[in-house]
Every structure is written in C-alpha cells, then in structure tokens.
Amino acid sequence: MNFGNGQYQAIKKIYAEKIAPATIIEMIEASGLRGRGGAGFPTGKKWRLLAQAPGTEKFVVCNGDEGDPGAFMDRAIMEQFPHTILEAMRIAGYAVGAQKGVIYVRAEYPEAVANLQTAIDQAHRDGNLGQDFDVVIRLGAGAYVCGEETALLNSVMGERGEPHPRPPYPTESGLYGKPTMINNVETLANIPNIILNGPENFKNTKIFAVSGAVQKSGLVEVPLGTTIAELVYQYCGGAKPGHTIKAVQIGGPSGGCIPASLFDTPLDYDSIKAVGAILGSGGLIVLDETTCMVDFAKFFVKFSADESCGKCTPCRVGTKKLEAVLEKITKGKGTTEDLIQIQTLGQQIMDTSLCGLGQSSPTPVLSALKYFGDEFAAHLRGECPAGVCFHGYYITDKCVGCDLCAQKCPVGAIEGAPKTKHHIDPLVCVKCGLCAKTCPVHAITGGNDENND
C-alpha cells in the first residue's frame, strides 16, 4: 500500500496544470479502475454519470462501513491514509461538480474515526479543505446492510438504515434527493496516484484481507489477475504444517467458496464471478480440512439472516428458512429433499430480494453445495468429514482398518472388516473418546459437545 498521505500533490497538479474536470473523468476511465466496494462498477463511468446529472447541488460519499466478516483493508487505509481519502474526495468533487462530501465510517473503528477527524481538521488548517469542497464524518449505524448504498444514504439522513429499490440510483437521486456519488474507501485511495502518475501507469492492484488456515495472514496487495494459488501459496505461505487447504471463501456473506482444484482462477471481477463467487470487497478466508463446508455455509447464511433489515419478505423469511434447513443438516437430520430445497429456495431469494444483501445471501451455501456436495451428502449419512458437526465421533478416510479402535471401544460401537475403513454406530457410541485416543493414524474426529442438542 503506497497511497501517499497528506501531500495533496494530485490536487495541486490539477490546479497548476489547469486539468479540466472532463479530463479527470477521462483519466479515471482510462485507468480501468472498478469499484472496490464489491460490485466492481467502473469508477470513471460512475463519475461521468454524476457529472452529467442536472443540478448544482451534488454530494460525494465515501463508503467506509466495511461490514464483511473477514474484511479489514478499508480500516487500514482509513487509519493510515486519511488525507489520501480527503484528497480523492476533493478531486471527485472537482470532477463531478460537488461541493460537499460525507465519509460514512464504521463506528466500531474508533481509530479510523479519530484519524479521519484529525486529518479533516489539519486539511482545514492548511487550506486543503473548506473552500471549494468540504467533508464531514457520519458514524455507521452498526448494521451490515448500512454498507449498501441506498441504506447508507438513509442512515446518513438520520432515517432507518433500510435500502430502497433502484432506480432511482444515487447518481440520480441520493442524499436529500440530490445527485450523489458513492465510492468505496479503497476505490478512492487509488485516485490521487492515477492523477499524479497517469492512468497508463496504474497497476490496478487490489488489497485482499487474507485470514484463516494459512501460514501468513494479513493484508496483501496484488495486481488484479494474480491467481488464487499465487496469493495463497506464494504470498501467504500455504497451509499450516500438517494441514491441506481445500478452498477459499471470497466476498464474505455475498460471496462463495472456490475449491483448491480451481486455484488457477485469476483474481479479477469476471473470472471469480464465472466460478460462482464474487471478488467482493476483498475478504478472503482460507479453509483447510478442519472446516466443515456445511457448517461454514451456515455461518454466512445465519449472518445474512441476522443482518436482514426485514423490509422485504424473501430476505427476512427466506434467509431464516435457509438457516433452519442448514441447522437441520448439521444436526444430522437432513434429507435429500433439504438439499433440493436449498437450491430452489436459494434461487427464489436471489431472484426476489430487494437489495444486494438478500440477492447474494444464498451464494455461500449454493457454492458450497456445488463444489462440496460430498460433504453435504456425508451429513445426510450422519457423518461430518471435518469432525465439526454432531456430538459423536466419526472415522475419516484416513482409516487404515487396523481395528485397534474397535478393540478398545467399551460398548462395541465400532465395526469394519480388516484393512477397510471402519464405522462408528452413533446410536451405540457413548462418546468416551477412547477410539480417537487409540487411533495410530488420527483418523477419528468429532466429540464436539458444543454441538449437542
């Protein structure tokens, strides 16, 4: 991350070289920059729409809500490069004809809020803000949906943070009914560099917040088009010792999982969409064999159900229903019909929800079902390959059929032919755990009492 900070060189260049607003927009278009907030909308095109919108009162809004679990790149930018965001907003204001800016920042980021406020005060003192363009901070209302642009605008205006259908888009009718341009923090942070160094030198990098089952987690900035394999193995050190990476989850609650067999997929908006996920804002969680894909999908569906604002029925009721089906499966009570229902209900929620929260909420479970259908099928048989669900023990494919566990089992719950995979009868098992302790190849997992009914 090298966004510069506090120099306001790009805006000085604009005034010194008398670069026209239309030229600025052409530069942003030529750079190929696309919105880093999730949807990947071409930034220059959005700026052009606002510049062409009628009226003299317009707003520029910076979206710093960052509610995706697993995403923390905007936080780093707001904390470390607050002046860059202010400079970018001022450039945007100059290019589109807006005089007022609002930064909507997640209230749970107190350091980002403090640093942004200090930067605004310094910019006023130094004459970098407050004349032709000014910026104020509004604190996020603590709901994931408030990151959605129409809900965000309602929240800024002191209304309930609920979305409304688009059109009208904010570029037509946004804050107080005026044309409004909303850009993500990282999108904006790229603007001064594009102006200073020219669009032809823009490397189109993206910051990923990598976490989970990987040796080196943290923020990694790579050019768009870098493959998942390069990011996970080359830059993040690959799996933790003794483990095997099986997938990544990209895009948070709106995104999906991508199996290791597709790790040669380039990290760009269209390629990731083609394999059933979204690049999203850049949260990337690495998963190894200790993660149960059904349980993991349930986490995200539950997140969306909890965060649904409740305004539209498909999202309010549908996500809860989807969560209940997944809960049933992770309790070992799922049926084949449940898997069909996940698909039909998921599709209905996607097709009929009002905003992006509902529309994308089934993606985590649909992609998990697509690529890890065998794990769902195992749950229908009462087995959790990762040993996360159910309260009993489960013998994995590592079993060499040595029979030691069966010999130790005090209640005779384990059976299997020599040298073939053994099986534990969950109805007989008393969950003493002796089998797992005995197994010489660590093939027995489970015993997680937290999952008890």
Ligand X SMILES: Cc1cc2nc3c(=O)[nH]c(=O)nc-3n(C[C@H](O)[C@H](O)[C@H](O)COP(=O)(O)O)c2cc1C
- Residues near ligand X (CB under 6 A) are 35-39, 41, 46, 63, 65-67, 144-145, 147-149, 182-184, 187, 281, 355-357
Query: How many residues in total does the chain contain?
Result: 453
The answer to whether 91 and 129 are in contact (CB under 8 A) is no
Residue 61 near residue 104 (C-beta atoms within 8 A): yes
Q: Which amino acid is at 294?
A: V
d(CA 156, CA 177): 13
How many angstroms separate the CA atoms of 279 and 267, rounded? 7
Nearest Cα residue to 391 out of 452, 330, 328: 452
Residue in this structure with the two tokens 């050190």, named with its chain if needed: 237
Task: Report in angstroms how near the CB of residue 449 gets to ligand X at its nearest.
Answer: 35
The least distance separating ligand X from the CB of residue 317, rounded to whole angstroms, comes to: 18
**CB 5, min distance to ligand X, A:** 20
Q: Is the Cβ of residue 41 or residue 263 nearer to ligand X in the bound state?
A: 41
The secondary structure of residue 39, as a DSSP letter, is T
Closer to ligand X by Cβ: residue 90 or 422: 90
> In angstroms, what is the minimal distance from the CB of 338 to ligand X?
26
Nearest residue (CB) to ligand X, 75 versus 246: 75
Minimal distance, residue 41 CB to ligand X, in Å: 5
Min separation Cβ 63 and ligand X, Å? 3
Nearer to ligand X, 265 or 319 (CB): 319
Pick between residue 39 and residue 380 the one whose CB is nearest to ligand X. Answer: 39
* DSSP category for residue 18: T
| CB 211, min distance to ligand X, A | 17
Name which of 1 and 39 has its Cβ closer to ligand X.
39
Residue 162 CB neighbour total at 10 angstroms: 19
The first and second tokens of residue 356, run together, are 């992006």
- Per the CB < 8 A criterion, the answer to whether 272 and 252 are in contact is no
Q: How far is the CB of 39 from ligand X (least distance, A)?
A: 5
**CB proximity list for 192: less than 8 A, separation 6 or greater:** 3, 4, 9, 10, 11, 84, 87, 88, 91
Nearer Cβ to ligand X, position 312 or 405? 312
Closest approach of Cβ 401 to ligand X, in Å? 49
Q: Which is nearer to ligand X, 124 or 316 (CB)?
A: 316
Token pair 């990694």 in the structure block, residue: 220
Quote the tokens at residue 44: 């220059």
First to last CA, the chain: 47
Distance set, CA 335 to CA 326, 366, 377, 378, 384 (Å): 11, 16, 9, 11, 15
Q: How far is the CB of 37 from ligand X (least distance, A)?
A: 3
CA–CA separation, 328 and 237 (whole Å)? 36
Residues 6+ apart with CB under 8 A from 320: 305
- Cα(288)–Cα(240) distance, rounded to whole angstroms? 9
Task: Between 35 and 392, name the residue whose CB sits nearer to ligand X.
Answer: 35
| Nearer CB in complex with ligand X: 39/317 | 39
